[in-house]
Amino acid sequence: MANKSGMAPSQLDFLSPLSGIPKLGPKRVAALGEAGIKTVGDLLRYYPNKYIDRSNVVNIRDIGNGIDNITGLLRFARNLFISAKANDRNYEERGDEATCLSRRKAIQTVNCNTNSINSNNKRDIIHKDINTDKNRIITVIGTVNSARQSFYGRPNFRVTLRDDGGDTLDALWYIRGMKIAVGERLMLTGGVTVNKGGRAVMIHPVLEKLVDGVTVRPILAVYAIREPMREAGVNQKLLRYAIEWVIGKINVDAYPRVLPDVIEKDKKFPPLRDCLRQVHLPDDLAGIDAYKARLKYEELYRVALDLRWSRRKFALPGYSMSPGDLADKLRAALPFTLTESQEAAVRVLHGDAARSTRMHRLLQGDVGSGKTITALFAALPALNAGRQVAWMAPTEILARQTKYAAEKYLGALGIRVEYVGAGDGAEKRRALCDLASGALRFAVGTHALFMPSVKFRNLGIIIIDEQHKFGAAQR
């Protein structure tokens, strides 16, 4: 049976568009595309960044692990401090040292009994116990006893859950409009804390409504949700649904064979389909590293192939360019003199530019050693030949700083420098038009420089600043 896109499940492969997946309309498909998820293969390679283990299901009465005793002891200590403080005020006027000494002994007794109570700050004691409990992730199952929305102070939604043993637990979310009704069966997973009244509370637990006949997975994958995805309504639940749907429908023969058989046998890797299933829908976390190992190796293998192909591309013919008199003019415009190391690097770069093959160089140096001005000299052969320069920086701040530095030095040579970043303002539209026509010959920007909307008339050199901060595919 075909789905809404007319594509039968057996026709799904790694190149299939996301539009064939139920619940993914045009807006959500576009949002996923902005996050780099454009095909079914991209979706399956969008790996979780962590997991929520819901296999540790406990009774509500067992989650405290001594919380009730601690709470009672805290109340006792609070009353003791209040009483001792009153005694201090009474006996300070009379100078009774014996009573003050008695108070100190009482406080020491409390410290010995709790091993955690600090007589100087009672609030620190409570926070310490709360933080310890929140680090322990547990799962409880029960029926909603009450559900209410509160708009007092910070809006929140509170649920009281009662398990089969009759014990109750509060759950709190600081959001509005949650759809939870009394009588529903819920599974809650999260850390447990204690409120001022001594009740156990879960703050923002992971929630799943239990339905008869529907199996609940003990382990949930958690994915990074980018801003465009969040705005389009792509949340954790929808992403899990889409991935599980694809894994259940895609044909076994549709999985690509990236690794040669000899490597798979030598490394004893599980099949790719098993690795993807266990990473996204794990049965348990004990053996998940073996599946991750194959995916990591395969990713590195793909990068190695790309690098090998890139080296072959750099052996293809390129432009033979010379800086002409621009190098001398730039030296004259500088308020300082280049070091011997900078001059040596410039000679190597200009020698590469003069060859008929493509240049592929890594300019390396300490912080403050003058790499930026050296790279500007590397751009002079392309500028002298009438070609364009693209300078890419990892952040907008660094890109703008580079733009101002390049403008300061190259402006004296009559070379215009513009910043090309995200957005769609009038300044960017004008820069894009000038790049396409060739009127703008030096563009500085972030990864926005290689977006489809950016067209160069005659690109001569690309300079990637702090290239290690870009992904392999971007480089």
How confident is the model over 286-310, as pLDDT tens digits?
A: 889 999 999 999 999 988 888 787 7
Residue 469's closest CA among 447, 445, 444?
Answer: 447
How does residue 473 score in pLDDT terms, banded at 50, 70 and 90? low
pLDDT band at 132 (very low <50, low <70, confident <90, very high): very low
Average pLDDT in the chain:
81
Residues 105-134, buried b or exposed e (16+ Cβ, 10 A)? Answer: ebbeebeeebeebebeeeeebbeebbeebe
Is pLDDT of 107 > 60?
no
**Could you tell me the end-to-end alpha-carbon distance of the chain, in angstroms, rounded to an integer?**
42
> Reduced to 3 states, what is the DSSP secondary structure of residue 287?
coil
Q: How many other C-beta atoms are found inside a 10 Å radius of the C-beta of residue 284?
A: 11
The stretch 395-421 carries a mean pLDDT of: 91
Q: b/e map of 423-453 (b: 16 or more CB within 10 Å)?
A: eeeeebeebbebbeeeebbbbbbbebbeeee
Which of 79-93, 100-114, 201-215, 318-332 is predicted with the least confidence, judged by mean pLDDT? 100-114
Check pLDDT > 70 for residue 411.
Answer: yes
DSSP-derived pairing of the beta strands 168-173 and 200-203? parallel
Which pLDDT score, from 0 to 100, does residue 106 have? 36
CB 28 within 8 A of CB 110: no
The dihedral through the CA atoms of 53, 56, 60, 65 has a sign that is: negative
pLDDT tens readout for residues 25-77: 999 999 999 999 999 999 999 999 999 999 889 998 887 544 444 444 444 44
Closest CA to 268 of 278, 259, 276: 259
Cα of 71 vs its chain's centroid, Å: 38
Closest alpha carbon to 376 in 392, 386, 391, 361: 391
The predicted pLDDT at position 125 comes to: 31
DSSP 216: P
pLDDT of residue 114: 38
- pTM across the whole model: 0.57
When pLDDT is cut at 50, 70 and 90, the band that residue 146 belongs to is very high
Higher pLDDT, 94 or 201: 201
What proportion of the chain, given as a percentage, has pLDDT over 90? Answer: 54
